[in-house]
Structure 1
């Protein structure tokens, strides 16, 4: 085997050889680790682990397995903490070297600039969010839920903005988008992606489409490969947007005068659409009386005279 190694001048990521030769790390886990370490500090603040794992081959199951492998190696840590407003935040830490739990907690505290951690102590001495030991988790996976009050960034507007109404249609649309992964594991959305698409989905609900109908429109007939779930769903939400519902007329039924089948009356019709579109029936003409050979010979002879 020959090697040709040229060190890049820029745009590279340093990673330990021990991670490269670690057989306990799957290809998906190694790729997730490299992607996280390749982010800049500003980009890492705006990106969740779930958004990085969305492009991995294998869907949600592979992504969850990769996260568990990194967490077991001490390369991925997750914590919850409570801000001064009493809101619970979830935060993840990806490290290039294995860290113990207390070392990760110290880094979490230093980055937040507080003395306590979620589960040990909160801001101003209030108890933190803690970590759940039993029962169902509050969030699907680490870093998948957008913290309350968080801004989504500059390019988050929708061509059809829908303000959150009293019926919570916008919130319901966002939750519906996050649950699409249960129908197809390729449709994994991050919390920010779902928040950007929620106004479009809420517009569907405002136009009379049921939740089941919206799920079917977004998941039916998917292509064999889904490279970007957010872009695919955005295209479907825009291209298949139904028209506004019009005032529905009362349903009036009648019996067709021809075929005696029931049909819906729209403008006072007496026959159904099938009978009205059918060709009119011509009345039967009586067949001419057939003459015998004697009458035909007599008529022929009379014609010659």
Structure 2
């Protein structure tokens, strides 16, 4: 690195190497120290932020540089009460770190920190004469207007209502769950457990009148005032009273009046279950019986065997094979995969021109 420096003969500021090489100060903080140190005598009336703005140090960069200067002892601030009771902030800027004891001595020597405020009446001329203070002639802004607001009045009625203590019934537990879940619909409807239990009586009455939990939640959390809810308990109590649904009128069902001497009618006789009769099967083989539901003469097994035999005869006739002499053997062979199917295929290969390809 090449180094070339020319010592200035005028308009320069002496800077300590401890400041230039300070490890905890950023470049903006070091530039502020050099800039303020070179100010003329009449240029110290502005705040440190105004000097930083002239150097282009703004926003977060200035806040970080100021925090470092305060932490390292280069900048000290103090709020004092000035004239006419106004608070002002005094800043002390040094080109070297200073302890709190030395800074207090400088504040004391400069007379900063002594209250110099004077009473406004001590000045001349005093404007006007003292008069009585008007009391009770101005109402709150929300109550002096002759309009109906959706939010409840300032004084919540029924604040001394009894809060149920002990285990809750099923209806009370459901009502408490609905009231505590209103905070999910709007943050202004957040209730505590004690506040929710103070509204259980009216909420349970809604449920007893046939309103479901979802309908009750919608009725209490919809169409909220635009300026928000001031008192969640009063607002919900107001809605529970004003929007209470009508009680359902239950009419008991008319029952026929029977004379005391009229005995009840006998029950209808039980219809016996139909059971199909047992019939002796007319098919071949050992004698056996079955239940005929539609007038059958053969059991299902014999009907299936006869069907297999008829199909084998027709197939043999189509192929030119004589199997009528031993139909039962053909049926029994047909039940085996290697029985009559193989015999039919062999017969077709011998008796039909073209061999197996003709099948």
Give the TM-score, by structure 1 length: 0.35
Q: Which has the higher contact order (CA 8 A, sep 6+)?
A: 1
Q: TM-score, normalised by structure 2?
A: 0.30
